[in-house]
Amino acid sequence: MENNQPVHKRRVRYKGTHPRNYNEKYKELNPEKYGETIERVIQKGGTPAGMHISIMVQEILDFLQIQPGQRGLDATLGYGGHTSAMLKCLKGEGHLTALDVDAIEMAKTEERLRNQGFGPDILTIRRINFANIDEVAAQDGKFDFILADLGVSSMQIDNPERGFSYKYDGPLDLRLDQTKGEPASERLKHVTKDELEGMLIENSDEPFAAEIAAVVMQELKKGHSVDTTVRLRELIEKALVKVPAAERKEAVKKSCARTFQALRIDVNSEFEVLEAFLQKLPDVLNPGGRAAVLTFHSGEDRLVKKSFKENVRVGIYSDAAKDVIRPSAEECRRNSRAHSTKLRWAVRGL
């Protein structure tokens, strides 16, 4: 007799009273089933494992002024929080195209959005880099509103297998699209000390760039690999050994965050991608179309500010944000990853 009963799977066991490792946080990784746990984590200012809390949703919607029947583009799908909010504004009329390069998270997000009732008639999801928005517009037509959220999603940062965070042991990868390019561990083998120092300064304003570059290169010259997140963190700790003891822990924490950011930007060519997006952006907007960009780094914000200002000057944009819009204190309290966020916007001329 054939048994069609589902096989019972025991939950992951962990030491102590609270799970610490990513895969042990079974409640946080199942938001549909454990809503109360999710809300408690958020209330404490944390981000549940495997989730991403979208930033400045209302501010973005207030600017975009989405109307039923319009066509929009979410250039960076991520967890789909912004996407869902914009789709609700369409009220079943119009269409939204969403882009991403992360095949792993994109499939999960598409399933969530389809389960929310957003079918292919109103939502198209494409695996394509947002640097190629001209190709998207050639297929789907121009857009009435566009959003680009340049932040790395929390579910990418928190998953140790992706290597985005110094807080978890994992491979030093840092690629958004793991099917292309080379991981950060390989990238480090192909740069000189001066190139690494310059990368740390340009991509993250790292004050200890020279010291970190020297220690990492010394390790590589010895024939040792720097292929895990923990190993890179250890080398950063070594590089900052002369920092006064009372200040060292905080200095190491900040330098780790900046170093991982700098490598991520380099591995994914993020500045080059953003420049291509900004250059093509006016040509894929309908007259009067609105574009909003969320940045999380001063280098990104400078590129957006410069592009918007120049396009206003030459009359391509009729208006653009003169000052950045920042998240509220309450949002920053609920979501610590919102602190560095800056929102800029522009309106295409008629």
| Contact status, residue 98 vs residue 112, Cβ threshold 8 Å | no
d(Cα 209, Cα 249) in Å, to the nearest integer? 17
d(Cα 201, Cα 195) in Å, to the nearest integer? 10
Q: Give the model's confidence band at 187: pLDDT under 50 very low, under 70 low, under 90 confident, else very high.
A: very high
| Contact status, residue 95 vs residue 72, Cβ threshold 8 Å | yes
| Contact status, residue 74 vs residue 98, Cβ threshold 8 Å | yes
pLDDT tens digits, 140-164: 999 999 999 997 765 566 666 666 6
CB half-sphere exposure, 251, CA atoms < 13 A: 18
Is a pLDDT exceeding 80 seen at residue 280? Answer: yes
If you ran DSSP here, which 8-state letter would residue 13 be given? P
Predicted local confidence at residue 38, as pLDDT: 47
- In terms of Cβ atoms closer than 10 Å to its own Cβ (0-12, 13-18, 19+), residue 13 is exposed
| Contact status, residue 54 vs residue 341, Cβ threshold 8 Å | no
| Contact status, residue 245 vs residue 301, Cβ threshold 8 Å | no
- Best CA proximity match to 200, nearest among 187, 190, 192, 210: 210
Q: 49-63, 132-146, 190-204, 210-224 — which is least confidently predicted?
A: 49-63
| Contact status, residue 278 vs residue 285, Cβ threshold 8 Å | no
d(Cα 23, Cα 14) in Å, to the nearest integer? 10
- What are the backbone angles phi and psi of residue 339, rounded to the nearest 5°? -55, -40
- What are the backbone angles phi and psi of residue 150, rounded to the nearest 5°? -85, 0
pLDDT tens digits, 47-93: 454 555 889 999 999 999 999 999 999 999 988 999 999 999 999 99
Q: What kind and span of H or E run contains 182?
A: none
- Best CA proximity match to 164, nearest among 256, 298, 38: 256
Q: Mean pLDDT of all residues in the chain? A: 86
Predicted local confidence at residue 15, as pLDDT: 58
| Contact status, residue 339 vs residue 330, Cβ threshold 8 Å | no
Specify the amino acid at residue 103: A
Calculate the alpha carbon distances from 247 to 185, 244, 252, 254, 303 in Å.
29, 5, 9, 11, 33
